[in-house]
Amino acid sequence: MLRESVTLYEAVSIVLSNTRTKPVEEITITESLGRFLAEDVFAPYPLPLNDNSAMDGFAVKSSDLEGATQDNLIKLKIVDIITAGKKPMKELQHGECARIFTGGIIPKGADAVVRQEDVLIDGDYAFFKNSVTPGNDIRKRGSDLGQGQRILSIGDRITPAIIGLCSALRIKDLKVFQKPTVYIIATGNELVDIDSPFDNFSVVNSNSYSLSAMVKELNAEPVIGGILIDTKEAIRESFKKAIEHDIIITTGGVSVGEYDLVKDVFAEMGVEWLFWKVKMRPGHPVAFGVYGDKLFFGLPGNPVSCMVTFDQFVRPAIFKMCGSQNYKRKVLKARSKSMIKKKEGVVHFIRGVVSIEDGELVVESIGNQSSSAINTMAQANCYIILNEKQTRIEPGEVVLVEIF
């Protein structure tokens, strides 16, 4: 059932309750950056695999160095040189030591490492001036990770560090949730593509480019469906291509107007619209509907409204489809440097710049806050979020900011 003028919270809840997570696929770790895990991952081996040296120095029996002082140097014979990745040649006996480098495997018989700067060398012998405690400068087997320890959880987003960890553990493949595909349609007879001849009357279809970039940033797959003229025939034809994808975004054609046909034509084709208009600025005329498990978002045509509504509604839907357990951006508190006024009853997203001054997070609204002023969107690094009850913010007041 179509609901009109819902709250921001209600709208997000409706979107998420109608969003299904994508199926699982297995991919190589080299393909996995930015994807979301579909299963817990456990360490097949301990890390490190062996006791190894934390420093360049000498592997010794600590008991051999009891009583060593500046005036009573203890002499040990160097019987091996152990580099990282090399297997020790022999077990140390009393009176012996091994030259060892960082990451080198501790030989049998040794229980400590003495740093090279604390050792004097003369030919095949090393002279020690200090005693040492067992375990000194040794990284123990499994001290980083124990075998069988859970290292990653379902819903974790794969980072470069995670890829490095998996490779260290010889994990070559990971199960992740599939990427959703997002079909982007721009509507409006006034629109032209970026390559069209320049004139003073047309409007470049910038929304398709910004939306495509926003989809890519979330590691989903954008498909630009081009510009539709405002006719029922063109919209019906586009619908047939659109339903091959997981998410369909139209930009323009959702506010009240003579040529705003998209919502009505899609409804004729079977889309069930669940809400239209949200109590927010910018982005009030936004629509959401479903066609089976396909999600339809009707976003406003004004560039800023388009991007704000994408952030608040499409972004969480994409993250849920991708398997993320966290759909929200960070919202922090900052001290406002600006005086801001707004009407009661709607949530406002004010473009701002957040920074740190004297150790404190501060934020300032920037430039023209018109929903068509794309330049200020490009300058901003956050939204200043004012709730329904707030009508005026004075400089110095604390506000909520959503960081891009």
Model pTM score: 0.86
Enumerate domains of the chain plus CATH numbers.
Answer: 3-22+179-322 (3.40.980.10), 29-43+146-177 (3.90.105.10), 52-139 (2.170.190.11), 331-403 (2.40.340.10)
Distance in angstroms (rounded) separating the CA atoms of residues 317 and 6: 18
Which residue has better confidence, 254 or 210? 210
Q: What is the mean pLDDT of residues 34-43?
A: 97
pLDDT tens-digit series, residues 333-357: 999 999 999 999 999 999 999 999 9
Lowest-confidence segment of 22-26, 207-211, 237-241, 320-324 by average pLDDT: 237-241
pLDDT of 146 higher than 90: yes
Q: What is the mean pLDDT of residues 373-378?
A: 86
C-alpha distances (whole Å) from 234 to each of 186, 262, 329 are 12, 10, 37
Task: State what percent of residues in the chain have pLDDT above 70.
Answer: 98
- Please, which pLDDT band fits residue 101 given cuts at 50, 70 and 90? very high
pLDDT tens-digit series, residues 166-180: 999 999 999 999 999
Distance in angstroms (rounded) separating the CA atoms of residues 135 and 226: 66
Residues 6+ apart with CB under 8 A from 251: 184, 185, 186, 187, 207, 208, 211, 299, 300, 301, 306
pLDDT score at 52: 98
- Please, which pLDDT band fits residue 258 given cuts at 50, 70 and 90? very low
The continuous run of DSSP H or E covering 152 comes out as strand 150-152
Distance in angstroms (rounded) separating the CA atoms of residues 76 and 43: 39
Distance in angstroms (rounded) separating the CA atoms of residues 78 and 127: 10
Distance in angstroms (rounded) separating the CA atoms of residues 238 and 298: 14
- Please, which pLDDT band fits residue 199 given cuts at 50, 70 and 90? confident
DSSP 149: -
Q: What is the mean pLDDT of residues 127-142?
A: 97
Q: Where are the beta strands (DSSP E) in 188-293?
A: 191-192, 203-204, 221-228, 247-251, 272-278, 280-281, 287-291
96: which strand partners? 77
